[in-house]
Structures are given as structure tokens and as C-alpha cells.
Structure 1
Amino acid sequence: MPRAFELAAARPWLMLPDALDSLMAIADRQGDPEALEARLGRPLDNARAVTLRDGVAVIPVAGPIMRYANLFTRISGATSTQELATDLQAALDDPKVRAIVLNVDSPGGEATGINELADMIHAARGRKPIKAYVGGTGASAAYWIASAADEVVVDDTALLGSIGVVVEVAIRKEADGIKRYTITSSNAPNKRPDLDTEQGRAEIAKSIDALAEVFVAKVARNLAVKPEDVPAMGDFGGLKVGADAVAAGLAHRLGSLESLIAELASPAANPRKSSMTIVRTTAELQAAIAAGTDPKTVQIAAAEPLDLDAIKAEAGASAAKAERERITGIHALAAKGFEKEIAAAIEEGRSVEATALSLFKAAQDRGIGLAGIKADATGTTGAQPPKSTGPDTADAWSRTMKKIGG
């Protein structure tokens, strides 16, 4: 049996029967992978390419789907889940990409790797809009991938479904008198079940059913439906066309690729384009960056206009209060014979302490001591000078004496 065919036949597939037959035919055509490559003569360019259109990354999911990029992907124009995962992560990380479209046209493919990719797509919901568009076929593994997107949009003629798993085993008669024997350990009879028997085929079916249960459960999660409803939605492994797929719940709506891209590229579909984070202080800016905010969406708040009238009014009120406190404090220093000095201090805007100092010096010139001035200020009735609430008038005489060293 050709080695390439053996490699293909040994794997479970989530794929349409006709497409699987074609794949097996390719694997069987020349015998070995090396022979196939020699027949090609040169490596084929990988047709996969992610395009960015108005901020929308379009990722093709075309042809048979394999786990890794290999000879099969090159020959059949297939897609690998390895490449799809890389493309998806790049689109998610690129700040120029605002939305992602998975452009699906595939009959399905190898079961291995599909679940991981679909989980990756499902987990990325909410980071950026992720839509799946099916313009041709979205069957089996391809539908599993598409269902993980935020929304599935399909063309009127698109084919969706084929929810199930298949393993195709070909048994060939030995040629040229060569007979092959397979011997397994006694503890593992099911390692090589005899497919000529019902029991052997039943063992293979157990694995296939287990894989199908995972397939159905994940599609149910992606579509937010009950697992028991999924087989009927997909016509028990069959295919639904366009509007019927929407009616069955396999897709969300009809549409075209171009209209979907235009919709996602519009500002209304991408609030990130117009949504800005306003910061007013350096602390707010640092907090926004630390929280993961895109620096391109950070906007420094415009300075608030000054209310000059309010500022003037506040300043005027403060000045009036200070003036009242100053005059009250000076009056507290008043004494007989110093009326002119008191009036001059008020008129010239001297502080309470400056007035006390000038009164002290004037008293010295007249041979009057500090005690005499204070006695004259209190008067014969013993009444104390009026007290001021301002800090400049509290015990003006004491502060003045400290300044002049008295």
C-alpha cells in the first residue's frame, strides 16, 4: 500500500465524502510523498494570504483542512490549522485590524487540530468582531471552525452542515506473493481490530462516536443551543443550503462577502474607531496605559476655560476680608496721643506688626514705655482692644517685641 495513502487512511476526517475520495486519490496516485514532490518538480506557492481591507482582516479557510502545512496542503490547495491559528493571532494583535472575517469555502478536513483552532476563535470573541462568511461550502470541520465565530453569514447558495466524523479504511489484497502479518501484544487486542469482523468495526466506531460527541458539543456551545438539538439542525450529517441553513440555526443571516466587509469597516460597526479615553492628569494617563488602553485612543482633555469673573470676585472677597482684619488689628493697638500714627497706618496700608513697630519707636521718642502704650490702649475702664480673627493681628505687640529683640 502506498505510504502517502497509508498516512491519509490512518486519520479520522471531518470532510465531505466526495472531497475525501479526491484526497485519497491524490495520496494513492504516486505512492510516496517523495515521489509526489518529484512529480511536481518545484514547490507550489502557498495560495494562502490574509488581506487587510479598511481595517478588516480577511482570512481564507479554503480547500481541505490539515493540522500542519505539508505536502497535502501544497498539492491540494489546502489550509492548515497551524497557519490559521498564526493568521488569527496576528490579526488579533495588529492594532490596524478592527475586525476579522473568516472566508470559508471548504469541504472539511482532518479532525486533529480543529477543536483547538475553534476554541481559539471562540475565546477571542469580544476582543474584536470575528465573523465567518461561507460563500461556497462550510462542511464538517470547516463548519466547526465557522460556528466558533461571533456570527455566521452565508450566501444564498452556500452549503452548511455535514456535522459528523468519518474514517475510511481500504483493505487491499497483497500482490506479488507478499503476505503481511500484524502481531499485537496480548494486552491490546483492540490496537489492530480486525475490520473484517463486526467486533473490529465496532471498536473503530466507538472512537468515531466519541469524537463526534466533542464535535456536537462544541457546535452547541458556539451556537448557544442544546447538544441534543445539533444533529437535527444539521440534518443528521446532511447539508443545508443558504436560507434553509439560516432557518435551521446553522447560520445567522444571508449576505455577501463584500457587504460584510463594508459593514465591519464602517465607523458604526467599530466603536473603537471613535471611542476615545479622555485623561486630565498624568496619573490618569499612566493608569489608562497600565490598564491596556491603546495609546492611539487616548486623548488629553482640553483645558477648561477660566472664569475670570469668578476669580476676580473670589480675589476681591479675600482682599476685603484681609483689609477688615488689618484695620481691626490696627485699632486694637490704638492709644491716646497716637491717633495720627493709627490713621496714617490705615491710610498707607501698613500691616498690624509694622504699625505696632512704628508706635513703639514713636513712644520711645516721647519717653513712653511699652507698658504705657498698652495701658493707654486699654483705657481707664480696663476694656481690652477688639480681637481680630486674622493671623496677622494675634498678639501683635508680642510678635513685634520678638522682632526688635525686646
Structure 2
Amino acid sequence: MLPESLDALLAIADRQGNPEALEARLGRPLDNTRAVTLRDGVAVIPITGPIMRYANLFTRISGATSTQELATDLRTALDDPKVKAIVLNIDSPGGEATGINELADMVYAARSRKPIKAYVGGTGASAAYWIASAAGEVVVDDTALLGSIGVVLEVAVRQAEAGQKRYTLVSSNAPNKRPDVETERGRAEIAKTIDALADVFTAKVARNLGVKPEKVAAMGDHGGVRVGAAAVEAGLAHRTGSLEALIAELSGRSGTWVGIAPTVVRTTAEFRAAIAAGVDPRTIQIGNLNAIRAQAAAAAILAERERAKRIRAMAVRGLEDTATAAIASGISAEAAALSLLKAAKERGIKIGV
């Protein structure tokens, strides 16, 4: 067993007597949802497998996802006061176009109500990417595949059986009702519909990401897919990361704000300067702890030498023992001055000013 897997197993074993701790780690089902889990106030909504509009026995058996059920889950998470943020956990190759636009618009509109992030750990392609782009931020694994922005229609032509011939008659007012895909004209007519759907897809992705529609095709490699950091560089995603880190960030458990460039400090002076400049403490990272310790030790030595020097300078003849005792006690130079004055008065020693 890999070390990290063993650590996770032992961590769960340590929590076996504490159901609340287990729920915090693994999540508990969110009431009235399909498969949503709630972890530290973060609702994780899975979007896996092929995406279809309506839920049925086939979607459950095949591991597909229904936009109908997703809409219900999202609405429930938005209305639940226990949920303070939402993560769309996506691993899907896409699916049918019907229902995708409505769901993506719902996600886009909900961004103003609660933080919504999309996480792609495997594949976020086609319809799945349409949904992901509607979230407030898209976070991806280094190996995740994103893109496939476009519309595809596959038509299988069934040949007539021997001895049979099939005719299709269309009313004269609707010559484009049944285009013949075996003719160039028929394919061109069908392509118009596909292009129109692709235009909607592109326009909505552009709106979701805040870019111009004409840039989307190149960002998505003209229907191709991009991997991890390349997807971030192209603008399809905002940053790379992990699902666990994203949940920790949204729940407030992370030590720093992921996604905001950290301010690295190496000395106490740099730390104080960062705080004085208004830098959020949650984004400050210690660059070299050993250097900070060494700097602090050096500063302490200098301060101690200066204190001893000031006390010795005030010790006139006959008060050497009092000065030595003051240095050893660790009192400030100001306090030592008072001790020296008192000792001088008691001994009849005059201190010149």
C-alpha cells in the first residue's frame, strides 16, 4: 500500500468512534438530493458520465447524469442554509445538447447567491465544459482534459431490405423538414442547425468566462481538448488544484487563500512590512523559517549587547557590582539607571550629569 493511502486509512480508523469527524472528512448526504454530499458547509455535486436531460433507469445503470436531477440538486443546495459554497465535481465526456443551456444558465445566475466552483479531475468536455464554464471559477487537475467546444450530429442511414424501397414525402411548404443526408444539399441544411447550436454554445462560454466570442474557438483548440496547465494558459480554466484543497478553501480550513498569489516573507522585518502594507495574513507564506530564526537570534544578540553597553556606561567607580547585577538580571537600561541612582545615594557616591 502506498504511504499516502495508508495514512488516509489510519486517519479514518482514528475517527471510527467519532461519527461527526468522519462526516467532516467523507461528507454526509445532503437531504433531498440525488448524490450530493455536504462537507464542512460545502456541497459537492457530482457530474459524471454522459449527460442526458431526463433521468431514467438507463442513466442510473450506465452512470450517466441527468440535467433534470442536477437542476434539482443545485436548487436544493442553494436554498439550504447549511450550504455556504458549492463545488461541481465534473468528470464527463459531455452529452446531448438538450437541457444543457438551461442548466448552465442556472449555474451562472446562482453565482451571485453563493460561491460556485467547478472542479474537473478527469474530463470536462463538450456539454460538461459548457456547465463548468458557468461556474464562478474552473479548477482543474494537472491531468484533466478540457474543451471539445462544438456540436456534433451523427446520422446512421439504414439501407432498405432487398425487395423493398422506402419513400419520404414532405409537404411542399416544408422542403427542409426532412433533409436527405445522402445528398450534399441535405447535409448542408442539417449543418445550419449544428452551426446555430455551436454559436449558442460559443456565446454562452464567452459570457461565462468574460471573453469575446471570437476568441473561444482558439482557446478550445478549435474543438480539441487541452490538458491541465495548458487549459489554464489558454483561458479554459482559472487554475490547477485538487478537489480536497478546493473544499478546504471554500470551507475556510485552508491556511492560505488558494488562487491568490501568496506573499512570501523571509524575515520579521518583511513580515511587519507586509502587514503594514495591508496584505491579508492568510496569503502570507514563510519562505525560510531557519533564516527567520537566525535573523531573530541576531537581532536579540545585538539588542542584548546594546543594553549591556548602556548600563556599563552609567556605572561610575564604586557601582560596578550594581551594574553587573543589573546586566545579569535582564532588566532594561532605564530600570538599571534607577538602581544605580539608588545605590549611589545609599553609598554617598556622586554621579555627574
TM-score range, shorter chain: 0.5 to 0.7
- Aligned-partner residue type, residue 86 of structure 2: I
Q: Does 1:203 align with 2:189?
A: yes
Deviation at 1:70, TM superposition (A): 2.3
Match of 1:87, SS?
Answer: helix
SS of aligned partner of 2:89: strand
| In 2, Cα distance between equivalents of 1:194 and 1:58 | 45
Equivalent in the alignment of 1:230: 216
Contact 2:245-2:254 within 8 A present in 1 as well: no
Q: Which of residues 83, 90, 94 is equivalent to 1:97?
A: 83
| Match among 205, 221, 226 for residue 240 of structure 1 | 226
Q: How far apart, CA to CA, are the structure 2 residues paired with 1:211 and 1:217?
A: 10
Overall identity of the aligned pairs, in %: 82
2:142 pairs with 1:156: yes
Cα drift, residue 74 of structure 1: 2.8
Where does residue 46 of structure 2 map in the other structure?
Answer: 60
State the distance in 2 between where 1:171 and 1:106 align.
28
CA contact (8 A) 1:155 1:256 kept: yes
CA offsets 1:356-392 (integer angstroms, 9 cap, x no match): xxxxxxxxxxxxxxxxxxxxxxxxxxxxxxxxxxxxx
Query: Counterparts of 1:238 and 1:110 in 2: how far apart (Å)?
Result: 18
Indicate the structure (1 or 2) with the bigger Cα radius of gyration.
Answer: 1
Q: Does 1:51 align with 2:37?
A: yes
Q: Could you say which residue in structure 2 is the equivalent of 1:142?
A: 128
- Among residues 223, 232, 240, which one is paired with 1:254 in the alignment? 240
* 2-structure distance, mates of 1:72, 1:116: 22
Cα distance between partner residues in 1 of 2:200 and 2:86:
26
Question: Secondary structure at the residue paired with 2:196?
Answer: helix
- Give, in angstroms, the shift of residue 267 of structure 1: 6.5
2-structure distance, mates of 1:168, 1:76 = 21
CA deviation profile, 1:49-86 (whole Å, cap 9, x unmatched): 11001110000000000011124413421001100000
Gapped regions of structure 1 (runs ≥ 5): 1-46, 270-406
Which runs of structure 2 are paired with 1:175-186 in the superposition (5 Å)? 175=161, 177-186=163-172
Which of 104, 116, 123 is the aligned partner of 2:109?
123
User: Of 178, 191, 202, which residue of structure 2 is paired with 1:216?
Assistant: 202
SS in 2 for 1:136: strand
Kept after mapping to 1: 8 A contact 2:151/2:198: yes
Aligned 8 A contact 1:48 1:79 in 2: no
Q: Distance in 1 between matches of 2:186 and 2:228?
A: 39
Q: How does 1:394-405 map to 2 (within 5 A)?
A: none
Structure 2 gap segments, 5+ residues each: 1-32, 256-353
3-state secondary structure, aligned to 1:110: coil
Match of 1:97, as an amino acid?
V
CA–CA distance in structure 1, aligned partners of residues 135 and 107 of structure 2: 6
Question: Is the Cα–Cα contact under 8 Å of residues 234 and 240 in structure 1 kept in the other structure?
Answer: yes
Q: Is the 8 A contact 1:131 1:149 kept in 2?
A: yes
The letter for the 1-side match of 2:50 is P
Aligned partner of 2:175 among 184, 189, 192: 189
Structure-2-length-normalised TM-score: 0.61
Secondary structure at the aligned position of 1:127 is classed as coil
In structure 1, which of residues 108, 126, 130 is the aligned counterpart of residue 94 of structure 2? 108
Q: SS of the counterpart of 1:191?
A: coil
Aligned to 2:344: none
CA distance in structure 2 between the aligned counterparts of 1:115 and 1:170, rounded to whole angstroms: 26
Count of residue pairs the alignment pairs up: 223
Matches for 1:253-272 after TM superposition, within 5 Å: 253-266=239-252
Q: 3-state SS of the aligned residue for 2:95?
A: strand
- Residue 226 of structure 1 and its aligned partner are, at CA, apart by 0.3
Q: Which amino acid aligns with 1:49?
A: A
> 1:245-291 deviations in whole A, cap 9, x for unaligned?
0000000000001111111111689xxxxxxxxxxxxxxxxxxxxxx
2:119 is aligned to: 133
The DSSP-based 3-state class of the residue aligned with 1:137 is strand
How far apart, in 1, do the equivalents of 2:116 and 2:248 lie? 14
Give CA deviations for 1:276-335 in whole Å, capped at 9, x if unaligned. Answer: xxxxxxxxxxxxxxxxxxxxxxxxxxxxxxxxxxxxxxxxxxxxxxxxxxxxxxxxxxxx
- The aligned amino acid for 1:52 is L
SS at match of 2:82: coil
